[in-house]
Structure 1
Amino acid sequence: MSFYSEMQEMARELITEFGQAGAVKRVAPPDPVLGGDPVVTSYPATLVPMAYEAKYVNGTVILAGDVQIYISAVGLSIEPTVGDVVSANGTDYAIVAGDPNKFDGVTNVVFIVQGRVV
């Protein structure tokens, strides 16, 4: 087991212990030729939403009400990205920024995203 795999497992344990079940939703746009409705696919995730400390809320990049969401990479088949929506605490948060924490370029240790209420 590599160092980054160990860190991934440690992150999973902490998020599982202190976090909650949630979901990452990805919206696929309608077919450009045939049209139709967008298709929403929901991916179950274990996550921890946390409010930003007041010193980081600057009113431009981080707004009041934004949350930092730690998402376990273990068992998640997608990499959360801008445009996805995270469901936590019964609230939907649009991902406006993210940091995959892929330190070795291969292993996603944990996903840390900035969520904004939709």
Structure 2
Amino acid sequence: MANPIYTRLQGTAQRLIAKYGQAGTVTRISEPDPIEGGDPVPTPYEATLVPMAYSAQEIDGTEILSGDMQIYISSVGLAIEPKPGDLVSASGKTFRVIKADPNNYDGLTNVVFIVQGRIAP
């Protein structure tokens, strides 16, 4: 059973992201069939998110680069859990997910997804 505190935190995160955030997409690229081949298939998922720049103290030049964004994605209604390699569209730009944190403290409730995004080539 989900802990009620995490369910409330999830609701709070969803309300704040809906109020201050924007519509975006998280796109998962499926690998081609290993036998039949073909092209990778992108599948977009609608999301509500807030992109935020990292502070100068957080940018270390190795793990976090200048231009990377910390993107808060509402877990409510998102059909997938973002993972490295996914693409996130926000503020008219496309970011590749480098790291993803579901903020899942009880093992059941994803409170909010926080991902590190890097401009996709």
What TM-score do you get using the length of structure 2 for normalisation? 0.96
Distance 1:111 1:88 in 2: 14
Q: Which residue of 1 aligns with 2:24?
A: 22
For 1:28 and 1:39, the matched residues in 2 are separated by 5
Letter in 2 for 1:88: A
Q: Secondary structure at the match of 1:17?
A: helix
Give the secondary structure class of the aligned counterpart of 1:3. Answer: helix
**Paired residue type of 1:87:** S
Q: Deviations over 1:33-89 (max 9, x none)?
A: 111111100000000000000000010000000000000000001000001010001
Matched residue type, 1:11: A
Distance apart, 1:3 and its partner CA: 1.0
Alignment map for 1:6-21 (pairs within 5 Å): 6-21=8-23
Partner of 1:64: 66
Q: Name the residue aligned to 2:82.
A: 80
Greater shift in the superposed pair: 32-41 or 44-53: 32-41
Amino acid at match of 1:44: E
| Alpha-carbon distance in structure 1 between the residues aligned to 2:100 and 2:82 | 8
What's 2:56 paired with? Answer: 54
Corresponding residue of 2:116: 114
CA distance in 2, matches of 1:76, 1:99: 14
**Secondary structure in 1 matching 2:57:** helix
Q: Which runs of 4+ in 1 moved over 3 A?
A: none
- The alpha-carbon deviation at position 98 of structure 1 amounts to 1.3
Q: Distance in 2 between matches of 1:12 and 1:97?
A: 21
Q: Which consecutive residues of structure 1, in runs of 5 or more, have no partner in the other structure?
A: none
Q: Does 1:100 align with 2:102?
A: yes
Equivalent position to 2:36, from 10, 34, 37? 34
Consecutive unaligned residues in structure 2, runs of 5 or more: none
Counterpart code for 2:73: I
User: In 1, Cα distance between the equivalents of 2:107 and 2:69?
Assistant: 26
1:90 Cα shift?
Answer: 1.2
How many residue pairs match? The answer is: 118
Indicate the percent of aligned positions where both proteins have the same amino acid.
58
